[in-house]
A = this chain, B = another copy of it.
Amino acid sequence: MSWLSYLRSAVADAEGLQLKIDLHLEAFEPLACLEQWQRQLAASGPSTNASAAESVFIGRVRAAAADGTPLLALELEHYPGMTERQLQQLATGCCARHGVGSCLVQHRIGRVLPGEAIVLVAIGADRRGPAQRCCQELLEALKHDAPFWKREWRRDGTGEWLTSNTPL
């Protein structure tokens, strides 16, 4: 399974926060990652039982480019080193602000096909409010403050760098 091809993995447990961040060079299955993550949390002790509230976001590549034409693939460039560091900082800060217990971030890099997952964010907390707010805020943070760049490859072989995110 290609989703096992983790590029780098950062696992932290600062102040009780269970944090895991991975960049994937090849397609990953969000639900398989989630399942593995829940097993890992369960194995890390009875005190970190399944969270009462879990908020999850999965983002996938659209079938169409920004101009409406069919999309061949999305190329995701990153800044090796800084991207991982920024993700770690953004996640740690966001989780601390909302007081949540666990955070999983999985992000694709490289050539991503329509329908494939680009990003997975999963936040576990004791209450639904913090879980949902943290999941949303972290998603916006990594969309705007983690160095990733998307290039759309169209069917005609031309490619164009995107200079902004899809509007909320």
Contact B62 A52, beta carbon cutoff 8 Å: yes
The reply to whether A129 and B52 form a contact with Cβ atoms under 8 Å apart is no
Q: A32 to nearest B CB, angstroms? A: 9
Number of copies: 2
What is the interface of chain A mostly: helix, strand, loop, or mixed?
Answer: mixed
Interface residue count on the A side (C-beta < 8 Å): 33
A107 to chain B minimum Cβ distance, whole angstroms, is 14
**Residues 131-168 of A at the B interface (beta carbon under 8 Å):** 131-132, 135-136, 139, 166-168
Bitwise interface map of A from 109 to 148 toward B, beta carbon under 8 Å scored 1, else 0: 0000011000000000011110110011001000000000
Interface residues of A, Cβ cutoff 8 Å to B = 31, 34-35, 38, 49-63, 114-115, 126-129, 131-132, 135-136, 139, 166-168
